[in-house]
């Protein structure tokens, strides 16, 4: 029981640390994504205003204002103007292509020019990272002066998707490492840790589990590995009944083979090594198991 409690405690600590690391990773990536998204939105709004500014200059207007840019949907922005203007489709295409090329997320976008009075689309085109997928027409016609709205809708590149993939990939890797670790940390490993560090006083006998020995009146009595295992279970629960099945399970379960008479043999050997102190004895409790009696 003692070694299992230590094992469970060790696993519990590892799981706690692993969970904490995963939680912190999620928090950090989420915060970074939120901050990046806020910055991206602000940057795109500036680009939208720059597009509006250049359209006004191309229309011969250097004094009227570009009205506040509206973010009408997740990846959709609308540019509006204080006064009517005219535009040349070819210049509009070149302007958006040049300015949005500075936005690493704008690999594919659609531009629609709307009539501000009735929201009808008077001109539109599609620009893609792969130029062969561009859809551009009617670039030689000058549009009449009117109240226009420029609607730009784009599909971001896979930067954020890649970031999310990296996060979930990292979490999966951490989970895999945790699984492998927990599979390799066997009860035997926990017992070895106990053996290295535990020293018990049993009456006048000093039981040094770490060095597998008993010290009785200055004399050293060596213990085998299995004897140490058996005595370690008793030493963790002195004067308490230890069921036979529990002893067999805790001592030999990891070896895959349990020999019923082996337990009696090792207990007999331990009795002989402890007989120098009459106040210590391993007694049989019929029908129940064994007890390390210390009086």
pLDDT value, residue 1? 44
Q: Which residues contact 223 (CB under 8 A, 6 or more apart)?
A: 212, 213, 214, 231, 273
pLDDT value, residue 191? 45
**Bridge partners (DSSP) listed for residue 222:** 213
pLDDT value, residue 27? 65
pLDDT value, residue 66? 92
Confidence of residue 218 (pLDDT cuts 50, 70, 90): confident
CATH number of 187-294: 1.10.10.10
Domain extents for the chain? 31-161, 187-294
Average pLDDT over residues 249-268: 70
Whether this prediction's pTM lies above 0.85 is answered by no
Tokens read off for 63: 């004094």
pLDDT tens for residues 11-56?
566 666 667 666 666 666 554 544 556 777 788 888 889 999 999 9
Residue 187 pLDDT greater than 70, yes or no: no
pLDDT value, residue 223? 92
Average pLDDT over residues 139-154: 87
Q: Does residue 232 or residue 257 have the better pLDDT?
A: 232
Average pLDDT over residues 261-266: 80
Burial bucket for residue 75 (CB in 10 Å: 0-12, 13-18, 19+): middle
pLDDT value, residue 146? 93
pLDDT value, residue 110? 92
Q: Which residues contact 4 (CB under 8 A, 6 or more apart)?
A: 187, 190, 250
């Amino acid at each position: 029981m003692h070694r299992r409690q230590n094992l469970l405690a060790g696993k519990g600590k590892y799981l706690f640390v692993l969970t904490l690391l995963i939680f912190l990773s999620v928090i950090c990536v989420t915060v970074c994504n939120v901050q990046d998204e806020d910055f991206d939105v602000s940057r795109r709004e500036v680009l939208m205003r720059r597009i509006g500014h250049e359209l006004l200059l191309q229309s011969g207007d250097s004094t009227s204002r570009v009205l506040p840019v509206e973010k009408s949907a997740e990846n959709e922005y609308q540019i509006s103007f204080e006064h009517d203007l005219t535009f040349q489709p070819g210049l509009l295409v070149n302007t958006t292509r040049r300015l949005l090329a500075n936005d690493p997320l704008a690999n594919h976008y659609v531009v629609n020019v709307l009539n501000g009075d009735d929201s009808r689309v008077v001109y539109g085109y599609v620009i893609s990272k792969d130029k062969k997928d561009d859809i551009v027409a009617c670039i030689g016609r000058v549009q009449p002066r009117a109240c226009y709205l420029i609607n730009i809708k784009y599909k971001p590149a896979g930067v954020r998707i890649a970031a999310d993939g990296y996060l979930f990939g990292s979490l999966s890797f951490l989970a895999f490492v945790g699984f492998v670790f927990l599979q390799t940390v066997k009860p035997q490993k926990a017992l070895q840790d106990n053996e290295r560090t535990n020293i018990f006083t049993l009456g006048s006998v000093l039981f040094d589990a770490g060095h597998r020995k008993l010290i009785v009146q200055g004399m050293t009595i060596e213990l085998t590995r299995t004897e140490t295992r058996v005595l370690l279970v008793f030493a963790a629960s002195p004067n308490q009944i230890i069921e036979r099945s529990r002893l067999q399970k805790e001592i030999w379960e990891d070896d895959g083979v349990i020999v019923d008479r082996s337990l009696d043999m090792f207990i007999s050997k331990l009795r002989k090594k402890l007989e120098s102190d009459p106040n210590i004895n391993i007694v049989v409790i019929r029908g129940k198991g064994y007890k390390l009696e210390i009086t």
